[in-house]
Chain A
Amino acid sequence: MLKKYLSLLICGSCFCLLTACSSSSNTSSTASADGDAAIGLDDDGALLVGDPNVQNGYNGPDELKDKNTVYFAYNSENIQDSYLGIIQSHAQYLKNNPNARIIIEGHTDERGTPEYNIALGERRARSVARYMSNLGVDVNQLSIVSYGEEKPAVDGHNEDAWSKNRRAVLNY
């Protein structure tokens, strides 16, 4: 009985269909629920959000598929020489394809705290973006996002896992 009452309350407000809603760069929406990715209520009353059909994998050109990750030393955002080639390949692709847009994801290992790691992840992504822009890539083709420690590539609580999680991922 109470569950029905709850769904009636929700139906009136939260029926925004999922889309890959792109908020414009400087949006600071304080008013509406539109533009979020809510898709309705689960049976247990929880709000479901996000697009389950979005592929989490690689969306870019095939030839760069296995060369899209740059690894970092602990607590550092410096790009090591061995990874410059990878970044240059993507930069070249972007220059040849002015309609292509790259998303540079910054990630960290789990040590430290989640919020601090979000900031460190952003540093790593910005580091790669800056290098690309210095190579002549149009900034409008570059965007960054930081996931901090939230999306590890490898589970595990040792240096072997951590070294594989400190990375920037180049996706499209």
Chain B
Amino acid sequence: MFKKFFTVVMLTLFVGTVHAELQIEITGGINEGHKIAVLPFKQDPAVNLDVSSIVSADLMRSGKFSPLPQSSLPQVVSADGGIENVDALSATGAEVAVSGIVNKTADNKFNVEFKVTGLAGSNKGRVLSHFRGASSLSTMRQAAHRVSDRVYELFTKQKGCFRTKIAYVVYKRGATFPYQLMTSDYDGYNEVPIVKSTQPIMTPVWAPDGKRVAYVSFENRKPAIFVQDIFTKKRTRLSSFTGLNSSPAWSPDGTKIAMTLSKDGQPDIYYYDLTTSSFVRVTADRSIDTEPTWSEDSRTLFFTSERGGKAQIYKFDFATKKVDRVTYQGARNLSAKTIPGTNSLIVITQVNGFRVARVDADGSIYMLTTSSLDESPSVAPNGSMVIYSTVYQGRKGLALVSSDGRFKANLPSSSGEISAPSWGPNVQ
């Protein structure tokens, strides 16, 4: 368990700086999920972060949990990380308690151990989950996220996504190379710069193996799509046709990269087949077709098209080769992204400005935000959360909303204007 991810995490963290550029500011209702009590872990003094606060924050952001404020909880954790007074905790109304310890076992080696104890009904007093694993100080954040993943999985039977990464573009005004492509933990920690350019970078997207990103770069004064290894920094120029080379999207099965090209007269959808090293044209319509995005099974391509007038979402079925319209409500619908595990889409819909919304299989639209300059949504690999770009307090920055709309937060940054977020895959 912990040993395996510990090794993987060592490779990803060695050049990272440990500071949070993205601070969370909560803006939306947080009182509707499972009430849980996350108790402060008994931690060795050498551990310089608060595991329980990372766990609380993770679970809260998913929209599915409402961790009770720690100050309101009776402090009843025993030396082995278990609960001493179930009745006192049960009285808070929480469904379960999460408690644990972080103790030193050797030089820079720690045991991270936690229990989930039921507080209600037939589970009252029962230990529902008990895990332990090893971590060093530098991987302690990942160990905390691992606790969150376990708790999330216990309740939802779905994989957690708290150990995933995001990629995004930062614009640092005044720098020689102001356009910067970064990766970080999904909560903004451990930011690692990948590319710094004199010209714009757009639309980073992850390969399903989590080791490469594709993106659009204007470094040659015209747009080209590159594919780059985020660890070695080696890269390949994939597409630099005349006209647009835009909007890359990597298929979940890893075999194809969809994109928008206008070399044949107007923006159309194409894909590059990595197994045959060839470009294949998907649409040939006279209007704008762009923003391709793959279904979970890689057999459908959703995209934005103006073939019916104003921009709406359409889909191309690889089996039937047919194109069908998907969205009918709202003045415009753009930037569709599938929500894994569902038949729903996240879109940017134009209703009093441009907002993140969810389109369900029956066509109904549900607004998830109240802002008006939203763009670039990207969905967590377990479908629980959406990260997107918006304007908050006059600055361009990222924000999170749970895909059920229950939890919202802005992630303002002090390091520049941030845009184009892309949620990385679950590679644990």
B window 347-385: CB within 8 A of A: 348, 350, 353-354, 373, 375-376
Are A46 and B237 touching (Cβ within 8 A)? no
User: Which residues from B are CB-within-8-Å of A114?
Assistant: 202-203, 375-376, 419-420
A33 to B236, CA, bound (A): 5
Minimum CB distance partner of A1 in chain B: B14
Min CB distance B363 to A, Å, is 21
- 0 or 1 for each of A137-172: is its CB under 8 Å from B? (1 = yes): 000000011111011000001000000000000000
Are B177 and A48 touching (Cβ within 8 A)? yes
User: Which residues from B are CB-within-8-Å of A96?
Assistant: none
Minimum CB distance partner of A9 in chain B: B232
With contacts A36-B220, A111-B373, A119-B288 taken as known, whether A47 is within 8 angstroms of B394 at the C-beta atoms is: no
Are A116 and B177 touching (Cβ within 8 A)? no
B window 218-242: CB within 8 A of A: 218-224, 226, 228, 232-242
- 0 or 1 for each of B332-348: is its CB under 8 Å from A? (1 = yes): 10110000000000001
Judged by a CB distance under 8 angstroms, whether B86 is at the interface is: no
User: Which residues from A are CB-within-8-Å of B194?
Assistant: 46-47
Question: Which of B219, B354, B394 touches A111 (beta carbons < 8 Å)?
Answer: B354
- 0 or 1 for each of B228-261: is its CB under 8 Å from A? (1 = yes): 1000111111111111101100000000000010
User: Which residues from B are CB-within-8-Å of A51?
Assistant: 198
- 0 or 1 for each of B12-53: is its CB under 8 Å from A? (1 = yes): 001101000000000000000000000000000000000000
A103 to B220, CA, bound (A): 13
User: Which residues from A are CB-within-8-Å of B239?
Assistant: 28
Min CB distance B114 to A, Å, is 31
Are A116 and B288 touching (Cβ within 8 A)? yes
Min CB distance A98 to B, Å, is 22
Judged by a CB distance under 8 angstroms, whether B320 is at the interface is: no
Minimum CB distance partner of B242 in chain A: A25
User: Which residues from B are CB-within-8-Å of A41?
Assistant: 233
Are A112 and B354 touching (Cβ within 8 A)? yes
Are B228 and A145 touching (Cβ within 8 A)? no
User: Which residues from A are CB-within-8-Å of B176?
Assistant: 52
User: Which residues from A are CB-within-8-Å of B200?
Assistant: 147, 150-151
Question: Which of B196, B240, B267, B375 touches A119 (beta carbons < 8 Å)?
Answer: B267
A115 to B260, CA, bound (A): 9
Give the interface size bracket for B toward A.
35 or more
- 0 or 1 for each of A1-27: is its CB under 8 Å from B? (1 = yes): 011001001100110000011110111
Minimum CB distance partner of A2 in chain B: B14
With contacts A49-B197, A151-B200 taken as known, whether A115 is within 8 angstroms of B290 at the C-beta atoms is: yes
- 0 or 1 for each of A116-135: is its CB under 8 Å from B? (1 = yes): 10111011000000000000
Are B237 and A33 touching (Cβ within 8 A)? yes
Judged by a CB distance under 8 angstroms, whether A29 is at the interface is: yes
Question: Which of A22, A50, A112 touches B375 (beta carbons < 8 Å)?
Answer: A112
Minimum CB distance partner of B389 in chain A: A114
User: Which residues from A are CB-within-8-Å of B304?
Assistant: 113, 115-116
Question: Which of A2, A9, A29, A110 touches B237 (beta carbons < 8 Å)?
Answer: A29
Judged by a CB distance under 8 angstroms, whether B402 is at the interface is: no
User: Which residues from B are CB-within-8-Å of A35?
Assistant: 237
With contacts A118-B246, A119-B260, A119-B290 taken as known, whether A36 is within 8 angstroms of B193 at the C-beta atoms is: no
B window 318-339: CB within 8 A of A: 332, 334-335
Q: What 12 additional pairs, Cβ within 8 angstroms, besides A10-B234, A23-B220, A116-B288?
A: A3-B15, A10-B233, A26-B242, A26-B263, A30-B237, A32-B236, A38-B235, A47-B228, A50-B199, A114-B375, A114-B376, A157-B394
Top 8 A-B pairs, shortest CB-CB distance: A50-B198, A46-B193, A150-B200, A115-B247, A50-B219, A37-B219, A49-B219, A113-B375
